[in-house]
Amino acid sequence: MPHSKPILKALSGIQLSPPPIWLMRQAGRYLPEYRATRRKAGDFLTLCYTPDLAAEVSLQPLRRFGFDAAILFADILLVPHALGSDLWFADGHGPQLSRISSMQDVRRLAPPGIVRESLAPVFETVGILSREVPRDTTLIGFAGAPWTVATYMISGKGTTDHRDPIEFMRSERAAFDALMDRLAEATIEYLLAQIEAGAEVAMIFDSWAGSLHGIEFENFVERPLKKIIRGIADKEPRIPIIAYARHVGSAFSRFAKSSGAACIAVDSTVELGWAARHVQPYSCIQGNLDPRFLIAGGSELIDQAQKIVACLSNGPHIFNLGQGITPNADPKNVEVLVEAVRNPRSI
């Protein structure tokens, strides 16, 4: 049966004009209704684990902007939490985790299948969303990729240089390999459970992929992503997958050709003429407006959005940002963006 939803059409390789649109982190702190729901929950983890509230914040941007996709509201660190890592969110400090520093720490983690039980509230959220999203709206489930999740588990927090994870990878290779295997298997289970609950697309985020290079990049970014994509395809071959690996340059072309993903999400550093030549012939492209344009808005926002649409107009394209929307984005500018993408002649 042909797809009727714009996102699913694009993911099947169909060129659409205008392209469908949604935004990474479209449910978040830039929306006053999100902040109100967050206060009602009391803390971030409670919000993630309370299905009615998590579904509510997932639906809020759809009501306001009419996006073509809803994405599950959760966090990439729920998987290590399910595996037994301590996890808490401190205001002004971001996520904090108990650290993995030895093989003994890795062995203490729960088996991958535990995510189906421990993260049952997340799957309940997906079920609510599958019933409540508008008919033409696609429901996206997601997970963090093993390398990105491992950086948090080894550092005990978010970092930018990833010195500790890289050192652990090189000095404690057996433990690092075991951790990556555990995360890959748990991520497959997590995404399959989301699909069983009603997710129509799976997205994998490797936000820190660009911190590895050469053989380490091949072993710990490309290989785990391909393993997860194969693991999903073996059980759910009808489900398209969006792969997002930030700051990986020319590797986007290899991903498009060999990863098995239906769509490659590109960050804002990617030159779109190159992407149109080297990625789009093999894959749908998602991206790639710099989120800073949603702060100031104005003609520059409109111009940039329409340049992206024009540049990627000869193949399948899902309009999105190059990374998640920032808390200081202006919701009025998001409205302008949606209008610029969908009705460029009216701007």
State pLDDT tens for residues 8-62.
999 999 999 999 999 999 999 999 999 999 999 999 999 999 999 999 999 999 9
**120 contact partners, CB below 8 Å, separation of at least 6:** none
**pLDDT-based confidence at 70, cuts 50/70/90?**
very high
Pick the catalytic residue from 30, 152, 244, 282.
152
State pLDDT tens for residues 211-234.
999 999 999 999 999 999 999 999
**181 contact partners, CB below 8 Å, separation of at least 6:** none
State pLDDT tens for residues 287-304.
999 999 999 999 999 999
**pLDDT-based confidence at 347, cuts 50/70/90?**
low
Using the predicted structure, report yes or no on whether residue 2 has a pLDDT greater than 70.
no
Q: How many CA atoms lie within 13 A of 249 on its CB side?
A: 7
Pick the catalytic residue from 75, 177, 181, 330.
75
pLDDT above 90 as % of the chain: 92
Pick the catalytic residue from 25, 34, 206, 282.
25
State pLDDT tens for residues 132-143.
999 999 999 999
In 3D space, the residue among 239, 163, 252 whose CA is nearest the CA of residue 195 turns out to be: 239
Give the C-alpha separation, 72 to 129, whole Å.
8
Give the C-alpha separation, 20 to 8, whole Å.
9
Pick the catalytic residue from 38, 190, 246, 282.
38
Number of Cβ within 10 Å of residue 81's Cβ equals: 20
Is 29 noted as a catalytic residue in this protein?
yes
pTM of the model: 0.96
Q: What is the pLDDT of residue 1?
A: 44
**pLDDT-based confidence at 3, cuts 50/70/90?**
confident
State pLDDT tens for residues 98-132.
999 999 999 999 999 999 999 999 999 999 999 99
- C-alpha distances (whole Å) from 329 to each of 33, 34, 35, 122, 305 are 14, 13, 14, 27, 15
Is 38 noted as a catalytic residue in this protein?
yes
Using the predicted structure, report yes or no on whether residue 92 has a pLDDT greater than 90.
no
In 72-198, the DSSP E strands lie at: 87-90, 94-97, 138-144
